[in-house]
Amino acid sequence: MIWAVVLLIAFSAGLLVWGIAGLSPAQTRTLRNRLDELRSGEASRRELQERRRRQQRREQLRDLLETVGQRLTGEEDTGQGETRKMLVHAGYRHENAVAIFFAVRLFLAAAFTVGALFLGSVAGAGTGQGLAMLAFFGLLGWMAPLFYVRRKKNHRQSEIQRALPDALDLLVVCMEAGLGLNQALMRVAEEMDRISEVLAEELMIVNMQIRAGNPRSEALRGLAERTGISDVRSLVGMLVQTDRFGTSVGEALRVHADTLREKRRQRAEEEAAKLSIKMLFPLVFFIFPAIFVVMLGPSVFRFQEIFGGM
């Protein structure tokens, strides 16, 4: 009888322990999830504060560059000068982009000059060498942003020029499917995002300007001004003329797309024809000397042995 009572108590205790063990993970899991939510909320607040601090620092740096650039240029350059056109073609559309550009050039020139002065003092260069280093590095710091912007401009224009025939083909398909020109441009901008983000961005700007109430001809002319590409300018001229005279936009787009595709093929053939001339200099200066050494090297040693014996 005693053993039966002991077994019953042990069984009851085991059931109690098993029940507590079954309930405690749920409570622990709930508590853990709540703590994770609090920690994630705290982390997100910290991340948001850090992002705001970085944004404030960027704005302060931009304000400083704008102030220095405006003092350097003498006035707020809001015109359409060559520098502003170059910056717009490279993708910098801020109203004070010219002032920021000149301020960056000034700061880089000063930083490179200070670095050259430090290197000259460490290397123990003379007065003439030190002045030459200062002039070279100062000029390098002044011209480096210009080279960077020009390179970005050329890369941006090349990307738009390569993707433009495909965009026109898609535009022709949308027009023939029954969409209007504005809706077709919007659809092409959405689809071209997978191929060329630059062209998709420019088309989205055109769509937003048309939605804002600007005439379509002005929005298209703005596209030609922002890109600075002759193919885009001819396309805009064609669209403006067809819109003015009421001719078929789809037929004109099809003919223009065929023309741009033929131009792209001709440009590829031109680059392929230039390849032989471009390969001449590496062959002459790097490959031919190695071939001459491999082919004529043993004979030179053989001649030395023969004439040395004589």
Distance of CA 308 to the CA centre of its chain: 65
- Residue spans of the domains in the chain: they are 158-272
Q: Which of 181, 156, 194, 199 is nearest to 239 (CA)?
A: 181
Average pLDDT over residues 60-79: 60
The CA–CA distances, whole Å, from 222 to 89, 165, 198, 205, 275 equal 12, 20, 15, 9, 36
Cβ atoms of residues 100 and 69 within 8 Å:
yes
Instruction: Encode pLDDT of 82-136 as tens digits.
Output: 888 888 888 888 788 888 888 888 888 888 888 877 777 777 766 777 788 888 8
Structure tokens at 268: 């590829």
Fold classified for 158-272 = Receptor-associated Protein (1.20.81)
Reported pTM = 0.66
pLDDT for the residue numbered 151: 92
Instruction: Encode pLDDT of 138-192 as tens digits.
Output: 888 888 888 999 999 999 988 888 888 888 888 888 888 888 888 888 888 888 8
